[in-house]
Amino acid sequence: MVLILSEHQDASTVEVLKWLNHFGITWIRINEDDEVRFDCLEFAGNQLAGLVITINGKPLNLVEVKSYWYRRGWLHYGAQYISGKISNHSLVNENMHQYLQEELDNVMEFVHRYLQSEKQCINSYLSAKNNKTYYHYVASKAGFDLPDTLIATQKKDLERFSDESGRGSLITKSINEMFSFTHDGKCYRNLTNEVRQSDIQEGNKVFYPTLFQTYVEKFFELRVFYILGEIYSMAIFSQLNAKTQFDFRNYDHEYSNRNVPFILPASIAQKVKVFMAEIDLNCGSLDMIVTADGRFVFLEVNPVGQFGMVSNPCNYYLEKRIAEILSQ
């Protein structure tokens, strides 16, 4: 049996499930909004004899799971047993709640560790945190070309970084994940944006930590899907179109980007493998830029990125491949 942890809106999961059905493989899918409870863990005769959780009240013995795919999401087990006040004293209440949460967190972390170490698995919840700053550091050690990067809080550091000769223009984007919210009928998003000299002049002297990077003039972008040593790459020609020059999520529906299959040069493929091993991810989507002079510049890795957008245009059948791996 295959266990999948995902989000209820994720369309790629459904495509993989169709293949699993086609292969006659049974599966259980847990979404982030399913109610998960810890039920029982037992060691007997120096061995793990049982590890049972319930999903929306239905028991699942994880020992019986053969392979596991962490697609997205989390195990929603927060409310277990903690219903209402434990004591009338708020401090007692607070401490007890914290204690109970830690007890449960400990055993639930074991659930994740058990799944990722004992099963044929694709990705894991514990490795999938998007530690972008750390990943940038590991990428530098893996030998990737990287854009010069500054995370700063003061205008003077930004000015110095910007003035350095030969840097050209700068961009800014989130340190962590992209962020968005809606207010009054508008959706606000912090996509990648150019930082002009005038922006720097008009900006505050001191600001919340912000990431700046040299703008890398791209010939095309690469989206690289890595899974258990296999590499599937796609070139994205977004430069043809001024609107998507800084971020292809500024998608131009009238004149879409060109997405075509691409084979990484062996030296770059090797770096991808070293990098992924180092950050302990067996599956993820890497973004790179290929410059006009043929340099491959690493931008970031997304552990739970969309892969349908690579699979479909390139005819890679990644959903089928994932189902095959899970069926082994």
Q: Report 90-129 residues binding other proteins (CB under 8 A).
A: none
Q: How far is CA 237 from the centre of its chain?
A: 23
88 contacts other proteins (rule: CB under 8 A): no
Nearer of residues 7 and 118 to other proteins, judged by Cβ: 7
189 contacts other proteins (rule: CB under 8 A): yes
Interface residue with other proteins, options 117, 204, 267, 328 (CB under 8 A): 204
Q: How is 145-175 classified by DSSP, letter by letter?
A: B---EEEEEEHHHHHHHHHSTT---EEEE-S
The binding track of 230-269 with respect to other proteins, each residue x by CB under 8 A or -, is: -----x-x--x--x------x----xx-xxxxxxxx----
208 contacts other proteins (rule: CB under 8 A): yes
**Residue 217 CB, nearest approach to other proteins (Å):** 14
Q: How far apart are CA 106 and CA 179, in angstroms?
A: 30
Q: How far apart are CA 236 and CA 299, in angstroms?
A: 14
213 contacts other proteins (rule: CB under 8 A): no
Nearer of residues 36 and 281 to other proteins, judged by Cβ: 36
Q: Report 277-316 residues binding other proteins (CB under 8 A).
A: 290, 292, 294, 312-315
Q: How far apart are CA 20 and CA 135, in angstroms?
A: 32
Q: Report 6-25 residues binding other proteins (CB under 8 A).
A: 6, 8-11, 13-15, 17-19, 21-22
Q: How far apart are CA 309 and CA 258, in angstroms?
A: 12
Interface residue with other proteins, options 43, 134, 137, 188 (CB under 8 A): 188
**What angle do helix axes 11-23 and 318-327 make, rounded to 10 degrees?**
50
Nearer of residues 82 and 178 to other proteins, judged by Cβ: 178
Q: Report 152-171 residues binding other proteins (CB under 8 A).
A: 158
Q: Are 324 and 18 in contact (CB under 8 A)?
A: no
Using CB under 8 A as the binding criterion, the count of chain residues that bind other proteins stands at 71
Nearer of residues 140 and 312 to other proteins, judged by Cβ: 312
Q: How far apart are CA 74 and CA 280, in angstroms?
A: 19
Nearer of residues 86 and 175 to other proteins, judged by Cβ: 175
Nearer of residues 110 and 262 to other proteins, judged by Cβ: 262
Contacts (Cβ under 8 Å, ≥6 apart) of 306: 12, 285
Q: Report 39-58 residues binding other proteins (CB under 8 A).
A: none
Query: Two tokens at 321?
Result: 């491949």
**Residue 149 CB, nearest approach to other proteins (Å):** 14
Stretch that binds other proteins, among 66-74, 124-132, 207-215, 272-280 (CB under 8 A): 207-215
85 contacts other proteins (rule: CB under 8 A): no
Q: How far apart are CA 5 and CA 161, in angstroms?
A: 42
DSSP symbol at 242: G
Q: How far apart are CA 25 and CA 203, in angstroms?
A: 57
* C-alpha gyration radius of the chain: 23
Q: Are 83 and 17 in contact (CB under 8 A)?
A: no
